[in-house]
Amino acid sequence: MKIYRALTLTLTTLAATVLSACGGPEEHELLTYGMGTSVIIKVYADDFPAADKDALIKELRYQEAVFKKNDPADSTINYLLRDALRYQKATKGAFSPYLGALIDLWGFDSEDAAVSRKPPSDDQIRQALTQQKLNLYALAKGYTVDTLARKLERMGYKNYIVNAGGDLIAKGKKGNQPWRVDVRHPRFVHRTVGQLKVDGKLAVATSGDYQNYFVYENEWYHHLLDGRTGKPARKYQAVTVIADSVMEADAMATAIFVSNGVIDLTDKRDPAFMVTTQDYHQTMTPAFQKRFISNCPPNDPCVSRDDYAKYAEERDAKMNGTNDKK
């Protein structure tokens, strides 16, 4: 068996060397930052020249500028706003593109978003809800990922992944293998709950209460605000949606999350989404299930609250141990 393994390894190495010498396709990566998160672009191609990378970064910066300016007269802003208003109607106001003042009040767009602080008062929240300040970030990141994917297509790339902090599109394959896209556990940073099948193309986004939050007096305050109450929605840990575009997945994930699942999706033919509730109960639609390979037994999110408490305790002990050494 050892000889077989050694031979296999040698042949694999040889094959890789030959392919490389012939300039065969391989994986290339671009890491950059934008829309408040990391943006990782992977292509499987013969080459990924610097000029293409520069053009993609330029496109990313352009989109950032559009969303920073937030001009309702801009065609992109207008397009996103129309979609956002559909979700506002479908969720009876839980999802709203006009929560800019509220998000500013909570401080979730600030660089200090994670810093512990006293949450705003009910009066302050009521006041902010009366203001109609546009904020389209629930769709903007997904839209930007779609835009980068279109640019890759125009450049001639057929096999790629664009991943902006978990808002992701994957297309094609990595050589003979499919791209492998895992779904992380909303509470265990170091665990995944399963894998998504790319099947040619996958556009997916997750809204989670762990993505942008602060803790104050042991209470967890996250950025997914219900537009009716002005406060974080409390039913779910995470909502993951697969859709035709990442923008659609992004918007729908947020809308399902902030409405606590009370949403009219009758205009969606076969919605594909998975939700994990605060009590660790994981459910998914049949369309999502078709594309999901779970790490867990059916209807079992793999872990319980007790598991999580134990995990957190071990993690903290390790961290304290490290601090002691220093």
Partner 1 sequence: MLLGLLGGLTAGFGRLARGSEGTHAEVFVGNERVALLDLSRPHTYTIKGYIGAATVVVDAGKARVTQAPCSGKRCIHVGWLSRTGDASLCVPNRLMVKIAGVAENSADAIVG
Q: Which residues are at the interface with partner 1 (CB under 8 A)?
A: 30-33, 36-38, 40, 42, 53, 57, 111-115, 161, 163, 165-168, 170, 174, 179-186, 189-192, 195-196, 204-206, 208, 211, 214, 238, 240, 295, 315, 318-319, 322-323, 326
Closest to partner 1 by CB, 173 vs 268, is 173
Closest to partner 1 by CB, 79 vs 210, is 210
Q: Is 141 exposed, middle or buried (0-12, 13-18, 19+ CB in 10 A)?
A: buried
What three-state secondary structure class fits 134? coil
What three-state secondary structure class fits 270? coil
What three-state secondary structure class fits 88? helix
CB neighbour list of residue 271: distance below 8 Å, 6 or more residues apart: 241, 252, 265, 285, 287
What is the closest distance, in whole angstroms, from the C-beta atom of residue 191 to partner 1 in the complex?
A: 7
Closest to partner 1 by CB, 78 vs 116, is 116
Structure-block tokens of residue 26 = 């391989």
Closest to partner 1 by CB, 165 vs 232, is 165
Q: Is 196 exposed, middle or buried (0-12, 13-18, 19+ CB in 10 A)?
A: buried
What is the closest distance, in whole angstroms, from the C-beta atom of residue 98 to partner 1 in the complex?
A: 25
Closest to partner 1 by CB, 147 vs 206, is 206
What is the closest distance, in whole angstroms, from the C-beta atom of residue 174 to partner 1 in the complex?
A: 7
Residues 103/112, Cβ–Cβ less than 8 Å = no
What is the closest distance, in whole angstroms, from the C-beta atom of residue 93 to partner 1 in the complex?
A: 27
Report residue 226: phi and psi, to 5°: -75, 120
What is the closest distance, in whole angstroms, from the C-beta atom of residue 40 to partner 1 in the complex?
A: 7
Q: At what angle do helices 75-90 and 50-69 cross, to 10 degrees?
A: 60
Instruction: Report the sign of the C-alpha dihedral through residues 95, 101, 107, 108, in that order.
Output: positive
What is the closest distance, in whole angstroms, from the C-beta atom of residue 193 to partner 1 in the complex?
A: 8
Closest to partner 1 by CB, 122 vs 296, is 296
What is the closest distance, in whole angstroms, from the C-beta atom of residue 179 to partner 1 in the complex?
A: 5
What three-state secondary structure class fits 123? helix
Residues 220/178, Cβ–Cβ less than 8 Å = no
Closest to partner 1 by CB, 35 vs 263, is 35
CA dihedral of residues 118, 276, 201, 138 (deg, nearest 10) = -30
Report residue 36: phi and psi, to 5°: 75, 15
What is the closest distance, in whole angstroms, from the C-beta atom of residue 75 to partner 1 in the complex?
A: 29
Closest to partner 1 by CB, 93 vs 178, is 178
Closest to partner 1 by CB, 81 vs 274, is 274
What is the closest distance, in whole angstroms, from the C-beta atom of residue 70 to partner 1 in the complex?
A: 21
Residues 183/193, Cβ–Cβ less than 8 Å = yes
Residues 138/84, Cβ–Cβ less than 8 Å = yes
